[in-house]
Amino acid sequence: MKSIKTVVVVGLGYVGLPLALLADKKGYKTTGFDIDTHKIDSLQTGKSYIDDVSVEELEKTGTIFTTDAKVVENADAVIICVPTPVTKNKQPDLTPVKGSLETIAPLLKPHTLVVLESTVNPGVCDEVVIPLLESLTQMKVGKDIYLAHCPERINPGDSKWNVTNINRVIGANSSEELTLAKSLYDSLVDAEIKPMQSLKEAEAVKVVENSFRDINIAFVNELAMSFHKLGINLENVIDGAATKPFSFMPHHPSCGVGGHCIPVDPYYLIEYAHNYGFEHEFLRLARSINDYMPAFTVELLEEALNEIKKPLNGTKVAMLGLSYKANVGDDRESPAYRVKELLEEAGADLVVYDPFITEKSTVKSLQNALKHADAIVVTAKHKAFLEALTVKTLQEADITVLIDGNNGFKDIKDSFAAANIIYKGIGV
Ligand code: SAJ
């Protein structure tokens, strides 16, 4: 095993770009490779397209950014950070992973370490990555080239946890590969790098931790629909349960689960286990509960409008939020799009506004959205919305209904009622 001095990061998104900058900062000769020329042009001109990467960091870095894969020929380590989405019918889509391997494999020199950070189900390294690498390089993985899996754990928009300080797991199929890969990550990350017994175990950790989150969200979402009928404030109950100092982890109901991780990763495990004869009924049920929440949100709007004898059909509605998560401009798998679709199907006279995603908004300001609307559905808990949507603002805009898709206004729901504004939250 040789020492690692030169690192190439493949895929410069919210995972790969911070990692490349970190490797450079830690003294590695680092190149960031991406097939997207717009990304490389931005980076070469010092412009960041990742909220969590500042222009200052780009100015300071010595990382080279390129679309020329030949840089891999000089790499001691190649770290793959490409997306692992699902197709329309929720099948794992390994196209980006396979594509990046096909690009780099022919250029790999012997004894190079390849690390896959992309989230994949157990078995992908053994059954897809290794065969592909060996056929494209005519080298033996574990002998001539080395492979490890270190699943990414980036949490976009998180000011506390980032690539420098998040614990990681790392797996490989031989102790030599594991030692080499672990030494690389020990030098990069100031946190625990826990060695796993195999590639498969490391793959399983990531899908398990994200499925854990999806089922817990589904649990509170089912409670929200139940407690709505029972007239119990679920958020108060969750706050109560959270006083238990052990073995309770609060999650919160919402208009749905979005993002590139939580609603996607469980399908990688569901599909793989299915191919081996096991049906993850619980994971599937959790996915279907979470996927129902946009419809539940629209039902709340219909319920509110019924109270004032207004049909949803023809009512002026403003949907506020396209992003899947508060205070970020990322709309991948966002439940807001399903809410929008249902509102349009019901004949609502709809405008849409998200300050982080103005290019897909149908009005250019919150004020314009409120001016248009009689009812609003808040589908992203952006700080800007929490601050602007006061009782006074809504009264001045003649808004009579507020549907709170992430319970961001739950603490002032009574003041809305006092102002004759019908407020409905998710389980609140
Ligand atoms: N959500 C709920 N209720 C909750 C928490 C989240 O409805 O209690 C919804 C959010 O509104 C969003 C979706 O779930 O639509 C995902 O939210 P998220 O906070 O899990 O954010 P993500 O998708 O950025 O998840 C990332 C993940 N990180 C990685 O996969 C590396 C995930 O593992 C983290 O647990 C998560 O951040 C986190 O903890 O914030």
Q: DSSP string spanning 129-140?
A: IHHHHHHHHSS-
What is the band of 51 on the pLDDT scale with cuts at 50, 70, 90?
confident
Our count of domains for the chain comes to: 2
- At 157 the pLDDT is 84
The residue-averaged pLDDT of 313-320 equals: 98
Q: Residue 388: inside a domain, yes or no?
A: yes
Q: What is the mean pLDDT of the chain?
A: 97
Whether 1 has a pLDDT exceeding 80, the answer reads no
Domain around 389: 283-425
Q: Residue 257: inside a domain, yes or no?
A: no
Does residue 296 share a domain with residue 411?
yes
* Residue 150 falls in the annotated catalytic set: no
What does the alpha-carbon distance between residue 315 and residue 331 come to, in Å, rounded to a whole number? 25
Which atom of ligand 1 is nearest the CA belonging to 258? 15
200 lines ligand 1 (CB under 6 A): no
The residue-averaged pLDDT of 138-152 equals: 98
Q: Residue 268: inside a domain, yes or no?
A: no
**Residue of 51, 208, 269, 325 best suited for mutating to test ligand 1, as the one with most atoms within 8 Å of CB:** 325
Q: Residue 247: inside a domain, yes or no?
A: no
Does residue 33 share a domain with residue 140?
yes
94 lines ligand 1 (CB under 6 A): no
Does residue 301 share a domain with residue 171?
no
What is the band of 305 on the pLDDT scale with cuts at 50, 70, 90?
very high
The residue-averaged pLDDT of 241-267 equals: 96
Q: Of 180, 199, 218, which one is at a domain's C-terminal end?
A: 199
pLDDT digits (tens, 9 = 90+) for 351-405: 999 999 999 999 999 999 999 999 999 999 999 999 999 999 999 999 999 999 9
Whether 2 has a pLDDT exceeding 80, the answer reads no
Catalytic hit among 81, 125, 255, 261: 261
Q: Of 178, 199, 220, which one is at a domain's C-terminal end?
A: 199
- At 156 the pLDDT is 84
Q: Residue 212: inside a domain, yes or no?
A: no
Close Cβ partners of 54 (under 8 Å, ≥ 6 residues apart):
48
For residue 77, report the distance from its CA to the centre of ligand 1, in Å.
Answer: 30
Does residue 184 share a domain with residue 50?
yes
What is the band of 46 on the pLDDT scale with cuts at 50, 70, 90?
very high
Nearest Cα neighbor of 80 from 33, 48, 30 is 33
- This prediction's pTM: 0.93
The residue-averaged pLDDT of 229-255 equals: 98
Q: Of 149, 175, 199, which one is at a domain's C-terminal end?
A: 199
pLDDT digits (tens, 9 = 90+) for 3-20: 999 999 999 999 999 999
Q: Residue 227: inside a domain, yes or no?
A: no
Q: Residue 248: inside a domain, yes or no?
A: no
Q: CATH number, domain at 169?
A: 3.40.50.720
Whether 349 has a pLDDT exceeding 80, the answer reads yes
Nearest Cα neighbor of 219 from 257, 273, 274 is 257
Q: Residue 396: inside a domain, yes or no?
A: yes
The residue-averaged pLDDT of 158-182 equals: 97
Nearest CA to ligand 1 atom 40: 155
DSSP 141-171: BTTTBEEEE------TT-SS--TTT--EEEB
Does residue 310 share a domain with residue 179?
no
Residues in the chain, overall count: 428
257 lines ligand 1 (CB under 6 A): yes
For residue 386, report the distance from its CA to the centre of ligand 1, in Å.
Answer: 20
Beta strands in 216-372 (DSSP E): 316-320, 349-353
What does the alpha-carbon distance between residue 182 and residue 277 come to, in Å, rounded to a whole number? 34
Nearest Cα neighbor of 24 from 69, 63, 65, 50 is 63
Which atom of ligand 1 is nearest the CA belonging to 259? 23
For residue 262, report the distance from its CA to the centre of ligand 1, in Å.
Answer: 6
Which atom of ligand 1 is nearest the CA belonging to 290? 7
Which atom of ligand 1 is nearest the CA belonging to 154? 31
